[in-house]
Amino acid sequence: MNLMQNKRIFFSVITFLVVAGFIASAFYFFKNTHKKAEKRVSATLTIPVTSAGGGHGHGKAKSAPISSVSVTGTIGRVTGSGTQETQPVKTGNPLDPQAVSNALVNIRTLVNKREYSEALKAVDDLLSMEIPEGVRERTLLERTRLLATLDRKPEAIEVLSALLESATGAAVVHQALAKYFILCRDTGVLAQHLANREAEMQDDPDNLRILRILTGLYEYSHMPQQELSCRERLDAKGQDIENLKRLLELYKASSNVASMASTLTTLAVIEPANANAYLLEKARLEFRTGERETARRTIDQLVVSPSLDFGARIQIGLLQYDMADYDKAVFTFETCGRQATRGVDQELCLFGLMRTRIKRGPANDADLNVLRNLAANSQSISIKTSAANLLKQVGSRGLER
């Protein structure tokens, strides 16, 4: 009897476990299927695109990005200033690096075959996938080239406008800005886009991205005063080597000596690898503008630099000669001679030294003999010619001995 009861209890437990397992499996299957269905639905949702250009600021139409930035559309994001930026909506599954590489090769092949419409479709297919941001930016740039080639330039301009407002890669931004300017100019809308950007800048004066876009457009449009104003604003927000170099060019063009000297000093500090070249240029500038004592202080700062190379030291000697600092120039050329490793460099130092001694005067036989030897035997035609000319200037006494 007990045996029969035990069997019934055993089979009841087994039955319960089987039923419970079945119910749990069914629940798990339903939950997973529901989640996958949700993902499929969300991936195919159409997201409405809100225009970023209407009724803002001065009532002018903004350069609003359009939905063609991404195959799947764009979604608006309101910034602190009330303007809208657009971000690509990325759908689909992430591509592995090999698949991305294959897609890019396919696009390049189609372009080389001049199948531009097919290449554009391939670009759009790639943009619909989850790809690295750098690849996405370069692919969007390629998209603008294809649109322009297919004579869809207004679309290309809008894609470039959106790309400039979101791209982080310096090379992409540079190329996009140049292309943006060219297409705006060629389609006759440059003035309108400049006005739009200026209005945006007034609405959001702290927006560095808009300021950089406007700066580039002014540079390409050959509007130096407007460009200078923008670049000075950029410099006030953070020193950048390329911006400072361009500022230096603009200051040179406008003969703004004080700003040139200040910019060269700043460049020497933030780009120490080229500090000697910047300080040497600053010393020349100071000498040319009559600031001799300032130039001497700059040279004194230079000559003690541990990184001063042979070429820079020769240039210092030549500048000291021009400034009539003959004793200092003699010392510099003598130091150069010890530093020189090539025969022609040693000859250059010798010529500089002889010329300085003769200028300081008086000329002696030893110096004239060195000059005669350089005029006859120098490895450099330039040194030969210069030595011969200097001997002529000294007079017939040097030539006869």
Among 40-54, 81-95, 169-183, the least confident range: 40-54
Token look-up 């991305």 returns: 100
The confidence score (pLDDT) of residue 285 equals 96
Considering the chain, what is the average pLDDT of its residues?
81
The token duo for 235 is 């410099």
Asked if 321 and 356 count as a contact pair (C-beta separation under 8 A), the reply is yes
In the predicted structure, residue 359 carries a pLDDT above the cut 50: yes
How does residue 257 score in pLDDT terms, banded at 50, 70 and 90?
very high
Torsion sign (Cα): 272, 214, 224, 58 = negative
Q: C-alpha 360: how far from its chain's center?
A: 48
The confidence score (pLDDT) of residue 93 equals 64
The confidence score (pLDDT) of residue 1 equals 43
- Distances in Å between the Cα of 291 and the Cα atoms of 256, 282, 286 are 14, 11, 5
Determine the average pLDDT of the residues in 117-127: 96
- Distances in Å between the Cα of 119 and the Cα atoms of 103, 104, 108, 155, 330 are 10, 10, 8, 16, 67
Determine the average pLDDT of the residues in 142-169: 96
In the predicted structure, residue 294 carries a pLDDT above the cut 50: yes
| CA pair distance 81, 236, nearest whole angstrom | 21
Determine the average pLDDT of the residues in 45-54: 30
Extended beta strands in 115-261, E state: none
The confidence score (pLDDT) of residue 239 equals 85
| CA pair distance 281, 261, nearest whole angstrom | 9
Determine the average pLDDT of the residues in 32-58: 34
How does residue 89 score in pLDDT terms, banded at 50, 70 and 90?
very low
In the predicted structure, residue 274 carries a pLDDT above the cut 50: yes
Sequence ranges of the domains in the chain: 324-401
pTM passes above 0.75: no
The token duo for 49 is 């695109």
Among 18-32, 73-87, 207-221, the least confident range: 73-87
φ/ψ of residue 181, rounded to 5: -60, -50
